[in-house]
Amino acid sequence: METELPGQHVTGDVTPLLSQGWDLMIAHPPCTYLASSGLHWNRRRPERALLTEQALEFVQLLLSAPIPRIALENPIGCISSRIERPAQIIQPWMFGEDASKATCLWLKGLPLLQPTNQLIKPRYANQTPSGQNKLGPSPDRAKIRSRTYQGIADAMALQWGVIPQPTKEN
C-alpha cells in the first residue's frame, strides 16, 4: 500500500527487515481478519477463516521479532484469545482526540502508554447516539477507520522514542 504522507517509508514485505538490528518497532498489522467486528464472517465464508489464521501467524512473527522494544496495535479481536491478552487497552479520548475506539497494545520491553490529555464526554464525535461508529459505507471506509489517531501517535513518539537503547551491561 502506498503511503499518504511524505517521508521515509518502506512498502512491501516486512519479514526481511525484522532482523536488521532495530531497537524499536511499532507495528500496525492489518486488522481486517483479526478484529471482533469481522470475525462473524468466518463461519459464513470459510476462506476468511484461513485468512484469519494467516493474519495470526503474521502477528506472531511480529511479536517474536528480535527487536528489544515492540508495540503491536490492533482493535479488540482474536489476538487476545489466540495469542495473548494485550498489555493495555487505550482510547483516542485519552490522548486529546474527540473519538472513542478501543485499541489494544501488546508491549515488549516498553512501559504502558500514559494518557496525555484526557477528554471526558458522554459521546464522542465519531459516535452515533447509540454509541456506534457513524462512518457509513464507502470505498475508503476501512482505510479511514484504520488510521492511528495523531494524539496516540504523538504519545508513542514522545514516551517510547526517548527510552535509551538497552546495553549489554543492563
> What confidence score (pLDDT) does residue 170 get?
52
Grid cell listed for 55:
493474519
Domain boundaries, the chain: 23-160
Q: What is the mean pLDDT of the chain?
A: 88
- What pLDDT digit, counting tens, does each position of 48-93 carry? 999 999 999 999 999 999 999 999 999 999 999 999 999 999 999 9
Euclidean distance between CA atoms 60 and 24, whole angstroms: 16
Q: What is the mean pLDDT of residues 30-51?
A: 88
Neighbouring C-alpha atoms within 13 Å toward the C-beta of 102? 10
> What confidence score (pLDDT) does residue 165 get?
66
